[in-house]
Amino acid sequence: MKEQIKKVLKEIEDFEILTEENLENFRKNFLSKKGAIGELLENFKKLEKEEKKIFGADLNSLKKQAEEKFGVKKDSLVSGQEEKNDLDLSLPGQRMPQGSRHPLSIVQNTMINIFKEMGFSLSVGPEIEDDWHNFSALNFPENHPARDMQDTFFIEKDISLRTHTSSVQVRVMEENEPPIRTISPGRVYRNEAISARSNSFFHQIEGLYIDKGVSFADLKQTLFHFVQRFFGEKTEVRFRPSYFPFTEPSAEMDIYLGTGTEEDYRLTKGTGWLEILGCGMVDVNVLENCGIDPKVFSGFAFGMGIERITMFQYGVKDIRTLFENDKRFLDQFKTLT
- pLDDT tens, 128-140? 999 999 999 999 8
Q: What is the DSSP string of 137-199?
A: GGT--TT-GGGGGS---EEETTEEE-SSTHHHHHHHHHH-PSPEEEEEEEEEE------SS--
**CB contact at 8 A, 248 and 302:** no
pLDDT at 304 over 70: yes
Mean pLDDT on 102-114: 94
Write out the residue range of the structural domain in which residue 52 sits. 2-86
Q: Are residues 219 and 310 in the same domain?
A: yes
Range with lowest mean pLDDT among 108-122, 151-165, 171-185: 151-165
Q: Which of 86, 113, 146 is the last residue of a domain?
A: 86
pLDDT band at 145; cut points 50, 70, 90 = low
- CA dist 119 and 286 (Å) reads 23
Per-residue pLDDT at 38? 77
Q: Same domain, yes or no, for 50 and 188?
A: no
Instruction: Read off the pLDDT of residues 200-220 as tens digits, 9 standing for 90 and up.
Output: 999 999 999 999 999 999 999
Mean pLDDT lowest for which of 67-71, 106-110, 284-288? 67-71
The secondary element (H helix, E strand) that includes residue 42 is helix 36-45
304 Cβ contact partners less than 8 Å away, ≥ 6 residues apart: 111, 204, 205, 206, 276, 277, 278
Rounded Cα distance between 302 and 137, Å, is 17
Q: Are residues 24 and 155 in the same domain?
A: no
- Cross-strand partners of 279: 251, 302
- The pLDDT, as a whole number, for residue 45 is 74
Angle in degrees, 0-180, between the axes of helices 216-231 and 103-117, rounded to the nearest 10: 130
Instruction: Select from 86, 120, 137 the last residue of a domain.
Output: 86
pTM of full prediction above 0.85: no
pLDDT digits (tens, 9 = 90+) for 45-83: 777 777 777 767 777 787 888 888 878 887 777 666 545
Same domain, 63 and 131: no
Q: What is the mean pLDDT of the chain?
A: 87
pLDDT for 70 equals 79
Pairing mode, strands 237-244 and 247-256: antiparallel
Query: What residue type is 120 in one-letter code?
Result: F
- Residue 76 shares a structural domain with residue 219: no
Q: Which residue has the higher pLDDT, 52 or 7?
A: 7
Are 181 and 52 in a shared domain? no
Exposure class string for 96-135: b at 16+ Cβ within 10 A, else e: eeeebeebbbbbbeebeebbeeeebeebebeeebebebbb
How many domains does the chain divide into? Answer: 2
Q: Which of 40, 58, 86 is the last residue of a domain?
A: 86
CB–CB of 78/71 below 8 Å? no
**Smallest Cα–Cα separation from 196: which of 326, 319, 329, 323?**
319
* Within a domain: 111: yes
* Among 144, 116, 120, CA closest to 283: 144
